[in-house]
Amino acid sequence: MGQTLRVLRHGFPEHPAVDTAFSAAILEGVGSGSMGDTIRIYRPGRAVAFGRRDVHSAGYRSAVGAARASGFEAVERLAGGRAAVFHENTIAVSWARRASEPRAGIESRFVEVAEVIRKALRGMGFDARVGQIPGEYCPGRHSVNAAGRVKLFGSGQRIVSGAVHVGGVLVVDGAEEVVRVLDPVYRHLDFTWHPEATGDLASIRPDVRYEDVVEALLQSFASTYQLVEGILDDETVARAEELSDRFLSPHSDVLGDPFPSR
């Protein structure tokens, strides 16, 4: 078997800033050596997660207001990239990994996580491919798309001393919600995109079940790693609550060095 990877499925959908901070707390623990490599695959709440370039945009505060007016909390991303949408019909992926030289493996980690997602979706019968779609939201070379037409998944990274976080979001259903929220947000950020490049799995196969996609992702990771179910420990939750104000927009003091999505 491969390297052990602890799996957590718990999210904080009612408190998106705590959710992001929980990933940050895990990243701290992995970096310090107090916990092993950990991946969270979970159902998030409604949030627009802004990247560092968004935070420094002249229209950032207006974009935050637009997100909240649309019924989505505004948080600042742990991983790099541009504004991305999370909601109850998306799957959030948050992977904290020990890395002695975290900068050295940036490209290989983007490649690996994209391949894991691609393989999982291929196994379910989707024509999943890796590559950027022209005009996609939160663009990146290692996005996962459907048949070269619409974006389904994107990822970003953040590094700290001794560890790295790889985060991403897969849209199972509700691409129209992503478009609805990002349209005013991106206008305020002066970011050009093509909403029609946004997709979801349910538009391709209406009978797809959220739980089946989660299990397919876990099986794909299990082909390389030895997965071990983890528990939600009180100490990490408490640390997340301490950190949560850092990630609630419009605050911009975030953890570690950001890298754009690839």
- Domain covering 4-259 assigned CATH 3.30.930.10 in the classification: yes
Q: Flag whether pLDDT at 1 surpasses 70.
A: no
| DSSP calls for 65-134 | HHHHHTT-EEEE-SS-SS-EEE-TTEEEEEEEEE-SSGGGGHHHHHHHHHHHHHHHHHHTT--EEESPPT
Cβ pair 26, 97 in contact under 8 A: no
Cβ pair 20, 240 in contact under 8 A: no
Q: Cα(31)–Cα(96) distance, rounded to whole angstroms?
A: 9
166-189 pLDDT tens trace: 999 999 999 999 999 999 999 999
Mean pLDDT of the region 141-167: 96
100-133 pLDDT tens trace: 998 999 999 999 999 999 999 999 999 999 999 9
3-state secondary structure of 58: coil
Helix axes 16-32 and 234-247, enclosed angle (nearest 10): 120
Q: Flag whether pLDDT at 256 surpasses 60.
A: no
Banded pLDDT at 262 (limits 50, 70, 90): very low
Q: What is the pTM of this model?
A: 0.95
**What residue spans define the domains of the chain?**
4-259
